[in-house]
Amino acid sequence: MTTLDPASGHVVLINTFTVEPERAEELLAALSEATRETLSGLTGFVSANLHLGRDGRHVTNYAQWESQADLDAMMANPGAMAHMQQTAAMAIAFEPLYYDLREVHDSPDS
């Protein structure tokens, strides 16, 4: 289970892939494998949260890292780069964006 807390100071990477619907599950499986085999072992990895769009055309990874420096090191890691090339080839497009979590609003019932 992942927790979202502005006080954590994590960098959030939201990577939105646009895919042909028939390749969505294949891309999810590749992201899952990349996370288990490579990314989760790198310094600064906190979490990866894999989402399938209800339109069938989007797959989004909401990932948390300890710092921008850890993310930059991941982006330059040969194993991670190989996985990124593989997943990019399954998608029509992808847009990785970096964020800070600023505010959390929770239902008292949740």
- Provide the binding-site residues for its own copies, judged by CB under 8 A: 1-5, 11-12, 14, 16, 28, 32, 35-36, 40, 45-55, 58, 60, 62, 64, 68, 97-107, 110
> Each residue of 28-45: b (16+ CB within 10 Å) or e?
bebbeebbeebbeeeebb
Sequence-distant (≥ 6) Cβ neighbours of residue 76 within 8 angstroms: none
Residue 23 C-beta: closest distance to its own copies, Å: 15
| Residue of 36, 4, 30 whose CA lies nearest to 17 | 30
Residue 79 C-beta: closest distance to its own copies, Å: 16
| Residue (41 or 82) nearer to its own copies, CB | 41
| Residue (2 or 69) nearer to its own copies, CB | 2
Residue 101 C-beta: closest distance to its own copies, Å: 5
Contact 65, 71 (CB under 8 A): yes
